[in-house]
Amino acid sequence: MKKNVIFKLFLLAVGFIAISAVIFLISHSLNNFKITDNKVVILEEEEGRVSNINVIDFSSVDRFNKKLVKAAIKQTKKSVIYDPSYFPIDYPNGDIPENKGVCTDVIIRAYRLVDIDLQEKVHQDMKENFHLYPQKWGLNSPDTNIDHRRVPNLQVFFSRFGIKLKTSKNPKDYKPGDIVTWDLGQGKTHIGIVTNHYQNNIPLIVHNISRGPQLENMLFKFEITGHYRYKD
Could you give the CA distance from residue 170 to residue 194 in angstroms, rounded to a whole number? 13
**What's this model's pTM, rounded to 2 decimal places?**
0.79
CATH 3.90.1720.10 applies to domain 56-229: yes
Q: Is the dihedral of CA 147, 150, 156, 159 positive or negative?
A: positive
Q: Which helix (H) or strand (E) holds 184?
A: strand 179-185
pLDDT at residue 109 in the model: 98
Residue type (1 letter), 224: I
pLDDT at residue 208 in the model: 98
Identify which of 173, 183, 171 has the alpha carbon closest to the alpha carbon of residue 228.
173
- Backbone φ and ψ for 125, nearest 5 degrees, come out as -75, -40
pLDDT at residue 56 in the model: 81
Residue type (1 letter), 85: S
pLDDT at residue 58 in the model: 77
pLDDT at residue 13 in the model: 55
pLDDT at residue 37 in the model: 32
Could you give the CA distance from residue 158 to residue 114 in angstroms, rounded to a whole number? 16
pLDDT at residue 36 in the model: 33
pLDDT at residue 24 in the model: 42
pLDDT at residue 116 in the model: 98
Identify which of 99, 96, 101 has the alpha carbon closest to the alpha carbon of residue 82.
101
**130 neighbors 72 (Cβ within 8 angstroms):** no
Per-residue burial over 150-163, b = 16 or more CB atoms within 10 Å of its CB, e = otherwise: bbbbbbbbbeeeee
State the number of CA atoms in the 13 A half-sphere of 56 facing the CB.
Answer: 21
pLDDT at residue 6 in the model: 55
pLDDT at residue 94 in the model: 98
Q: Indicate the angle between helix axes 63-75 and 103-112, nearest 10 degrees.
A: 130
Cis preceding-peptide flag for 92 (omega within 30 of 0): yes
What residues contact 133, with CB distance under 8 A and at least 6 apart? 126, 147, 152, 153, 156
So where are the chain's domains? 2-50, 56-229
pLDDT at residue 85 in the model: 97
Regions of the chain where pLDDT drops below 50:
2-3, 20-50
